[in-house]
Amino acid sequence: MARSDIADTTGIGPFRDALARHAPHDGSFASAIAGVKLIRCSTPTLPMPVIYEPTVCFVAQGRKRATLGESVFHYDPAHYLVASVGLPVMGSVIEASRAHPYLSLQLDLDPSTLAELALKFPQPDAGNIAAPGLTLARMTPPLLDAATRLVSLLDTPDDAAALAPLAMREILYRLLAGPCGAVIRAMTQADSRQGQIARAILWIRSNFTQVCRIDEVARIAGMSRSSFHEHFKAVTAMSPLEFRTQLRMQESRRLMVSDGLDAATAGYNVGYDSPSQFSRDYSRIFGLPPAQDARRLRLGD
């Protein structure tokens, strides 16, 4: 991505200033407006695992990288990121400083409002395909203006109850009308390829510690085994088993760092019978053996 893409972004100042006012220090802030989260970070970060729920992320300052399987996405003030299904992603802030912290706005993609808008403002059918679950698009002035007005409503809480739903609705409308519209529109259609894979993803996320029988998950998705493999990888950039492994690794890391479990117990709790296999998978994904990685994270190295 050329650096000029960021420099050419205009009108970002009011959006950046509004985010900075309501995210005064590093962290993730759930705002007074439902479905709206503000994020601030003053230093680049190591890649960390996170589940991206169906959301759109707008950046006001700085730059972030998201890795899904072997696919890498960079987003910044000139580009927003849409996650259309819940995905295990490795995310890292790659451009931030105390003088110019990373600032972003994360909005939940409300399925009921999207479904209503998709019915009211139909678009020509782009075909029933399984599109990538993460998608980048270029920010537009109308979309930036709507996002700025939404965050600015945090300055006037008495107005937010009446006006925030209108600003959110405008943002969702512009997303549907934009380059990611077909992907977002598919979220509202249960019989779309995207909807079928989303059902399978929800099942795997709820059962990732269990044996993953591909035929069973394909049946849940309403697809043949071969078709399911093809479309699942198109959406997630991973096979179903790789997807399950990512979920297992994220949870085991949390268990070791936050709950203090040893590596063998954490591996067993996420579904591994073999400590050596757990250690191999963990090292492959995170680059260090489980105990060593957990110790590094606990010490903040």
pLDDT tens column, 94-114: 999 999 999 999 999 998 899
Q: Which residue has the higher pLDDT, 194 or 301?
A: 194
Render pLDDT for 228-271 as a digit per residue (tens, 0 to 9): 999 999 999 999 999 999 999 999 999 999 999 999 999 999 99
> What does each C-alpha distance from 59 to 63, 87, 102, 170, 228 come to in angstroms?
7, 20, 8, 18, 34
Boundary-marking domain end, from 142, 167, 186: 186
For residues 119 and 88, state if they share a domain.
yes
For residues 123 and 45, state if they share a domain.
yes
Task: Write down the pLDDT at residue 216.
Answer: 93
For residues 132 and 231, state if they share a domain.
no
Task: Write down the pLDDT at residue 127.
Answer: 54
CATH number at residue 270: 1.10.10.60
For residues 100 and 227, state if they share a domain.
no
For residues 248 and 121, state if they share a domain.
no
Share of the chain above pLDDT 90, in %: 75
For residues 140 and 261, state if they share a domain.
no
287-296: which pairs have CB atoms within 8 A and are 24 or more residues apart? 289/263, 290/252, 290/253, 290/256, 290/263, 290/266, 291/256, 291/262, 291/263, 293/253, 293/256, 294/253, 294/256, 294/257, 294/263
pLDDT tier, 1 (very low <50, low <70, confident <90, very high otherwise): very low
Q: Give the span between the Cα atoms of 203 and 34, in whole angstroms.
A: 26
pLDDT tier, 125 (very low <50, low <70, confident <90, very high otherwise): low
Mean pLDDT value across residues 274-295 = 94
Average pLDDT of the chain, as a whole number: 90
For residues 135 and 266, state if they share a domain.
no
E strand or H helix at 148, and its extent?
helix 141-152
For residues 229 and 256, state if they share a domain.
no
Q: Flag whether pLDDT at 3 surpasses 50.
A: no
Task: Write down the pLDDT at residue 62.
Answer: 97
Total domain count, the chain: 3
CATH number at residue 111: 2.60.120.280
For residues 283 and 142, state if they share a domain.
no
Name the residue range of residue 269's domain.
242-299
Task: Write down the pLDDT at residue 194.
Answer: 84
Q: Give the span between the Cα atoms of 138 and 192, in whole angstroms.
A: 25
Q: Flag whether pLDDT at 32 surpasses 60.
A: yes
Q: Flag whether pLDDT at 215 surpasses 80.
A: yes
Render pLDDT for 65-91 as a digit per residue (tens, 0 to 9): 999 988 899 999 999 999 999 999 999
Mean pLDDT value across residues 113-124 = 86
For residues 93 and 64, state if they share a domain.
yes
Q: Which residue has the higher pLDDT, 18 or 185?
A: 18
Task: Write down the pLDDT at residue 47.
Answer: 87
> What does each C-alpha distance from 227 to 4, 109, 233, 276, 288 come to in angstroms?
41, 27, 10, 33, 35
Boundary-marking domain end, from 152, 186, 220: 186
Render pLDDT for 147-194 as a digit per residue (tens, 0 to 9): 999 999 999 999 999 999 999 999 999 999 999 888 888 888 777 888
For residue 253, the SS3 value is: helix
Boundary-marking domain end, from 168, 186, 204: 186
For residues 256 and 224, state if they share a domain.
no
* pTM above threshold 0.95: no
pLDDT tier, 128 (very low <50, low <70, confident <90, very high otherwise): low
For residues 216 and 266, state if they share a domain.
no
